[in-house]
Chains A and B, each alone.
Chain A
Amino acid sequence: MALLEMHEWYDLARDTNWTPAYVAEDEIFPPELSDPYGISVEQWETFDEPYKVCYRDYVETQRDKDIGAYSVKSALARADFFKKASPHWKALLALHFSPIGFAEFHSASAFARMTRFSRAPGMRNMATFGTLDEMRHGQIQMYFAYEFIKQDRVFDWAHKSSKTENWIIISLRHALDDIEHTRDAISAAIMTNFAFEQGFTNLQFIGLSADAAKAGDHTFATMLQSIQTDEARHAQIGTPLISIMIENGRKAEAQRLVDIGFWRIWKQFSALSGISMDYYTPLEFREHSLKEFMHEWVVDQFARNMKAIGLDLPWYWDYFLHDIETFHHSQQIGVYVYRATEWWRPIACVSPAERDWLEEKYPGWNDTYGKCWDVVIDNIRGGRFEKTVPEVPPLICNMCGLEVTGIAGVGRQVNGRTWNATNFHLDHEGRRYHFCSEPCKWVFELEPARYQGHRSIIDRLLDGTVPPGPDGFYEYMGQSFEERGVCGYDYQWVDGYDLPRAAAAE
């Protein structure tokens, strides 16, 4: 029997709205979950999926994608790639797999909520596939990380991390809870599908795959791109939603959702992709710098989409352009010096050759971030290893959960260089909140009630939530003694600065 082509039945099959007879419409689709913007159901029904797929094709395609990715993995497993990988690549894999794996599973619930509560039948279709996609992303990354556990316990954190109160996980969870999990279906979709997925996932899942291919890690490269082929499809949910919002006089609201989501996710990717691309990827395998990848994927490809659908660039765009050249450099310093608070083995990646590369990609790096590293290097060379670890905890941003750091090239002059370590702060209902940047503060001020109850890891340290004692802090963060990060090169990376090996081994 000849089957009808998808386009011959699609519109008819999509039409799954009906008028309920036994309950009120509002009870099935409560406005606070389905549409706080008061747009009519007729308008939502105009949602036309730009990227259409039917279930039969979906299952077949997804099966083929999995066969492709898993067969590359099993064909290359014997090559023992991981055993021979450098501390650079091991740190990069740990940084990717441990926060992301379970966050993908969580995304499945965000898509499921869109599937359940959207009033647009076309959106419900796309979100159904998106739910299944995100389950796949959770499973495949958990499974690929699992392979490494027998060689390195760090990969236990692919599963464990999301259940801990580690400061990095608190930071990630705060951002994802904010945009994916604690808003109505429409707002969450605009923030997640448009600002987050269309905006940033290409960076980590395609950009980094180029580095992985160069490094010979074809399993990782294939897995990343396989995942991204799903994202390319379900991220398209955001576009028709924004168009419907704009057509119905809700541009300001849509713009605000994008501006918040874009900033929040940028901060996460700045640390994740920034450190991965500009530091953890071995020098000889770097395809581009973070800045170059950001220009390709975000400043060019994504920003054009924003304007084409009728939005404006976010108000903080100029600041953002500066931030893509600066923020991750200071975060990398923090991640290295506070390494015991991380579960993997952080590495510095500032050998003389790596510094030359950083200076070339980010002119002025040596004169700013390099000066901070000089102090670290000097202490290691002098055998004063304890001095490479700060005694005081850092100031943590009450929005992004990352360290409030100096940003080179912005603000006031210090020692002849422009150096901004401004703590943007706000006093609200009897307490002071600290922020790393104007946009993080702006997000808070938009809706203080949403954010004011959150306590950063430092707030928890000060208010007694974290148990006292030398181990209390680490135990609170889920880190046994063996799960506290040490320098991945055992300080020998400074050998390039002529340190005798014997001194470093002491």
Chain B
Amino acid sequence: MTTADDAGNLVGPVMRAGDIADAVLEAIQEDNEGREVITEAHASYIRIKVADECFVRFETVGDVLGRTVTRGDIESNMPSFAGFIRTEPDGIRFVAR
């Protein structure tokens, strides 16, 4: 049985499946270098998990998609996240505490 400790300190967004989700995943891999990025795909959403801290930079997501990406674009496609959120001027940070 899962206990509250099993997932360790994995944090990160839960994205609605689609092109923004794919771009966010790519951007996270790029901006969280040297850290393992774990994904868990479900029928309508994808969980992206990084240990302790995970940063999503709007500009990187935009580079992947080839268009401007705003905070709102991320919010509209992010129904949940693991850990705690910190909104920053150029992106969104998820932290274990």
Contacts and interface: CB of A to CB of B under 8 A. Distances in A.
Task: Judge: A and B partners, yes or no.
Answer: yes
B34 interface: no
B11 to A, nearest CB: 9
A51 to B, nearest CB: 5
B51 interface: no
A5 interface: yes
A500 to B, nearest CB: 38
Contacts of B16: 225, 229
A206 interface: yes
A421 interface: no
Interface string B74-85: 011111111111
A301 B79 CA distance: 14
Nearest to B14: A206
B89 A50 contact: no
A487 interface: no
Contacts of A384: none
B22 to A, nearest CB: 16
Interface string A224-246: 01101101110010010000000
Contacts of B85: 50-51, 236
Given A64-B72, A206-B14, A287-B43, A301 B7 contact: yes
Given A206-B45, A206-B80, A61 B87 contact: no
Which range contains the number of A residues in contact with the other chain?
35 or more
Contacts of B89: 5-7
A295 interface: yes
A386 interface: no
Max chain B C-beta neighbours (<10 A), residue from A61, A65, A304: A304
B44 A225 contact: yes
A232 B76 CA distance: 10
A287 B75 CA distance: 24
B15 to A, nearest CB: 10
Contacts of A437: none
A330 interface: no
B67 interface: no
Contacts of A306: 4
Interface in B38-90: 42-45, 70-73, 75-89
Contacts of B4: 299-300, 303-304, 306-307, 313
A212 interface: yes
Contacts of B71: 53, 57, 61
B51 to A, nearest CB: 13
Max chain A C-beta neighbours (<10 A), residue from B6, B79, B86: B79
Nearest to A222: B16
A7 B97 CA distance: 22
Nearest to A60: B72
A211 interface: yes
Contacts of B79: 202, 205-206, 209, 225, 228-229, 231-232
A239 B84 CA distance: 9
A313 B3 CA distance: 11
A24 interface: no
B5 to A, nearest CB: 8
Given A225-B45, A305-B84, A57 B70 contact: yes
Nearest to A69: B76
Nearest to A306: B4
A214 interface: yes
A214 B44 CA distance: 8
A108 interface: no
B55 to A, nearest CB: 15
Interface string A46-90: 000011110001001100110010000000000000000000000
Max chain B C-beta neighbours (<10 A), residue from A209, A225, A309: A225
Max chain B C-beta neighbours (<10 A), residue from A51, A60, A212, A307: A51
B65 to A, nearest CB: 15
Nearest to B93: A50
Contacts of B2: 295, 299-300
Contacts of A308: 83-84, 96-97
Contacts of B1: 295, 321
B56 to A, nearest CB: 13
A210 interface: yes
A299 B3 contact: yes
A308 B7 CA distance: 13
B6 A300 contact: yes
A65 B73 CA distance: 9
A395 B9 CA distance: 43
B81 A300 contact: no
Contacts of A232: 75, 78-81
Interface string B1-38: 11111110000001011000000000000000000000
A439 B85 CA distance: 31
5 A-B pairs with the lowest CB-CB distances in the bound complex, closest first = A61-B72, A228-B79, A303-B4, A213-B44, A210-B43
12 contacts: A7-B89, A50-B85, A51-B85, A202-B80, A206-B44, A232-B81, A297-B80, A300-B4, A300-B7, A304-B83, A306-B4, A313-B4
Given A229-B78, A297-B80, 7 more contacts: A50-B87, A64-B72, A210-B44, A211-B43, A226-B76, A229-B16, A308-B84
